[in-house]
Amino acid sequence: MAVLICGGAGYIGSHGTAALLDQNEEVVVLDNLQTGHREAVMDGAVLYEGDLRDGAVLDIIFQTHSITDVLHFAADSLVGVSMNEPLTYYDNNVGGALNLLKKMKEYGVGRIVFSSTAAVYGEPETVPITEDMPVKPGNPYGETKLAIERMLHWAGEAHGIRSVCLRYFNVAGAHPVHDIGEDHQPETHLIPIILQTALGQREKISVFGDDYPTEDGTCVRDYIHVHDLIQAHLRAVDYLRGGGESNVFNLGNGSGFSVQQVIDTVEAVTGKDIPKEIAPRRAGDPAVLIASSDKARRVLDWQPEQQDLHTIVKTAWEWHQRHPEGYRGGGAL
């Protein structure tokens, strides 16, 4: 029995790889290393460097290993880029998932946990957001994830492939034990960008808009620790193995922090002043995204352990200090 982790060398996927290895699962990683890092894949996993849209590499994996479950993290995931490159996003995200599902059907693999996103909700009418609220993505990234959710639904109806779609809110932090963390080139996510500013690698942070209808005018997001997020994936795998039917869950902490509050928290954790400038809004950004994760807590019996933003930032800061140049730099350990 082995678990295939598509995108298992990426930021979130590598934490999934580590968690499954930690519970002594046989782990096979497929990653095209476009944004993932070979060094992020912990010893013990078998790594295939290849693309999901390439049927041949999937044939080799499904013929070589007894894959019973799939975790699918591999995708392009930047809202801003997706606004300018929608077709690239459809090609990689929808095309990759389509090919994966075809091969799962061909090889009789019937369980998949899929990385979806809060971006499927677009600009929500109320928060916290529950899973039954309308989905109306405001950007191509969210559209591709929603298209895959629908594809999973129909593949379930017709071919018996059961799926859990996990709609992530804002994932941050680094592994509390293993030496893995967030390294995107170039970095676009708020917390690592502020940490790079704290390290002196950037002059200042650009705050994308201070005229949103929020308390301080900056966007509000729900930040969840990557370790907690991955624990929910383990619960989802168990849920499907236990016969659970296809389902959709939000993963967040249920509390919102503005961009300004995140900057304040990073200043408190690092003890550094973070210079900032107010910049124009970024296309495709909703004002407020806060999750209700009650359903995941109830159905998956999931309980996030590192909910405090200070703790989340602290684990990320520790990793960034050890790896100021990311995986490329090797690290100070």
- Where helices occur in the chain by DSSP H, the ranges are 11-22, 55-64, 79-84, 86-89, 95-107, 140-159, 190-198, 226-241, 259-270, 294-299, 309-322
Burial of 213: CB neighbours in 10 Å, binned 0-12, 13-18, 19+:
exposed
* Residues making contact with ligand UDP (CB under 6 A): 79, 170, 188-190, 193, 205-208, 219, 221, 259, 282, 285
* For residue 186, cis peptide bond before it (omega within 30 degrees of 0): yes
Residue nearest ligand UDP by beta-carbon distance = 219
Q: How far is CA 194 from CA 108, 197, 270, in A?
A: 45, 5, 10
Closer CB to ligand UDP, 268 or 279, in the complex:
279
Give the E-state strand segments of 173-216 in sequence order: 205-208
To ligand UDP, the closest distance from the beta carbon of 63 in angstroms equals: 37
Closer CB to ligand UDP, 221 or 314, in the complex:
221
Of 2, 236, 11, 230, nearest in space to 112 by CA = 236
Could you tell me how many residues make up the chain?
A: 333
To ligand UDP, the closest distance from the beta carbon of 332 in angstroms equals: 25
Closer CB to ligand UDP, 152 or 190, in the complex:
190
Distance of CA 31 to the CA centre of its chain: 15
- Catalytic site residue from 11, 48, 121, 141: 141
Q: How far is CA 216 from CA 170, 211, 240, 248, 258, in A?
A: 19, 8, 42, 32, 7
Question: Distance (Å, rounded) from C-alpha 34 to C-alpha 238?
Answer: 30
Closer CB to ligand UDP, 20 or 219, in the complex:
219
Question: Distance (Å, rounded) from C-alpha 267 to C-alpha 194?
Answer: 9
Q: Is 48 noted as a catalytic residue in this protein?
A: no
To ligand UDP, the closest distance from the beta carbon of 210 in angstroms equals: 9
Closer CB to ligand UDP, 188 or 201, in the complex:
188
To ligand UDP, the closest distance from the beta carbon of 222 in angstroms equals: 9
Active site amino acids: 141
